[in-house]
Structure 1
């Protein structure tokens, strides 16, 4: 074995020992709260990927979509066929509606469904897609969201997506990922592509 191969083996062995120690120390079993935030593309996609994974493992999952309109949604088309419950705000982007009262009413109506889901012990995983905007715009009171998340069933996992996640959400979360925008096709004038972007 060459010196280079020996050094590589030694580095990998140290890495393996560190990972094995972390695995041995991770003994708590509970539902997770995951926040996927940031200005980059892929937050909802990541959330839906988690739902797809859960469905693949036989978990019972549900989704609430804020911001989204009534247009075709590839994730919904796939996941509803596999038993995933969906609640969609359906008003579309707030910059299109420009109606704070109607948007607040629509957000609160969907949030009531979320509160029911967050009390349902039969649900293993709940995706609250684009929820962060509802808090930022003060359509849904932060404390109401925090209370529902705190009081959910112990083994229920929740994924929250959207830009500018409130500090109290990220502090409460078990895992927080920030998606950073490096480059986006839309900024170069490329139209969103069905099946890839939406």
Structure 2
């Protein structure tokens, strides 16, 4: 046999890799076999990094793709056109309700009493949508900002999610500085970490990326 004689045997490294992956798959399958329960989740996206609402809308579009009724309540963002709202309202309004209840960020409105009034109205709408078991997911976009400024009582939000949310309804809450009380009761919490952001280099928010 010469060095260039063909062989059907995989290289030793490939064999070790296959054995390692087979062992990992067996362990993974064993773990997955114990995960049999389903429940409606309380999901929190928080942190200083970009992507909290973006990820949440990805979940909403996933529900839409599966034909699951869902809803969105925006607590802070005002009337500015956004891609996700325009698409949902023009193409998927039959399966996803979209309510923009805010009038802009707090530094734009500069009216605390008005901000509180709007946040309370948004929370009332949110409770209405969550109570409806037909909605499999309800996104409360930027509610953490309203909670941070005490426009809404965190104790009331926690009690409602624990006592009144239907068993199979997912509720997603986004925004910086999530309250500890909310994190405590959540099933899934993701903190977006800021590493780099173009805004710091003088680049403004751009269509298709931020809105």
Partner of residue 41, structure 1: 50
Deviates most, 18-27 or 180-189: 18-27
State the number of aligned residues. Answer: 198
Partner of residue 86, structure 1: 98
Deviates most, 143-152 or 63-72: 143-152
**Does residue 1:195 correspond to 2:208, yes or no?**
yes
**Alignment gaps of 5+ in structure 2:** 1-9
**Alignment gaps of 5+ in structure 1:** none
Partner of residue 156, structure 2: 144
Match of 2:33 among 8, 11, 24: 24
Once the 2 structures are TM-superposed, how far is the Cα of residue 7 of structure 1 from its aligned partner? 2.2
- The structure with the largest alpha-carbon Rg is 2
8 Å contact from structure 1 (residues 118, 148) kept in 2: no
Runs of 4+ with deviation above 2 angstroms: none
Structure 1 distance, partners of 2:182, 2:67, is 28
TM-score with structure 2 setting the length: 0.90
Structure 2 distance, partners of 1:74, 1:144, is 32
Match of 1:108 among 113, 120, 130: 120
Partner of residue 170, structure 1: 183
Once the 2 structures are TM-superposed, how far is the Cα of residue 133 of structure 1 from its aligned partner? 0.9
8 Å contact from structure 2 (residues 140, 172) kept in 1: yes
Structure 2 distance, partners of 1:61, 1:191, is 31
**Does residue 1:117 correspond to 2:126, yes or no?**
no
User: SS state of the match for residue 63, structure 1?
Assistant: strand
User: SS state of the match for residue 71, structure 2?
Assistant: strand
